[in-house]
Amino acid sequence: MAERTYAEFIIGIPNTSAALIEKKLDRIAAELFKLDGGAGARFSADPVGGTLTFGYVIESDDINEVVAKASALTRTALHAAGGNTKGWPSEFKNIQSTQKQLTDA
């Protein structure tokens, strides 16, 4: 059985008003939760700060696969909700990494 890894993406939304971000939140969440792999995702937003946070538990022993899956889910949800991801990076910087054993409740 592959390890379960929690991956979190914090996305900055430059040049967008808090009101417009708030208007799109329900659509982004709805599209995210429809995706295969998105059903158990965490999603939150700070419209005033201009950020969206996406979190996923992904089963894989390969951290590169975890990042690729989390990136694809995030980007697909944003596109499905009518957003764009111009300049989306193909490589990501690990800002913080913590390892914890995830268990079922």
- pLDDT digits 0-9 by tens, 80-100: 999 888 888 776 666 665 556
pTM of this prediction exceeds 0.75: yes
pLDDT grade for 70, boundaries at 50, 70 and 90: very high
Please say whether the beta carbons of 37 and 60 come within 8 A: no
For the chain, percent of residues with pLDDT exceeding 90: 49
Fold of 4-80: Alpha-Beta Plaits (3.30.70)
- The DSSP element (H or E) to which 67 belongs, if any, is helix 63-80
Tokens 């022993």, residue located: 61
- pLDDT of the residue at 67: 87
From residue 104, alpha-carbon distances to 4, 69, 77, 89, 101 in Å are 11, 21, 26, 33, 10
Distances (CA, A) of 83 to 10, 52, 102: 16, 13, 32
The per-residue pLDDT for 89 is: 76
List, in order, residues 6 or more apart from 28 with CB less than 8 Å away: 43, 52, 77, 78, 81, 83
Domain segments of the chain: what residues? 4-80
Which of 30, 15, 8 minimizes the C-alpha distance to 86? 15
Q: Which residues have C-beta within 8 Å of that of residue 93, sequence separation ≥ 6?
A: none
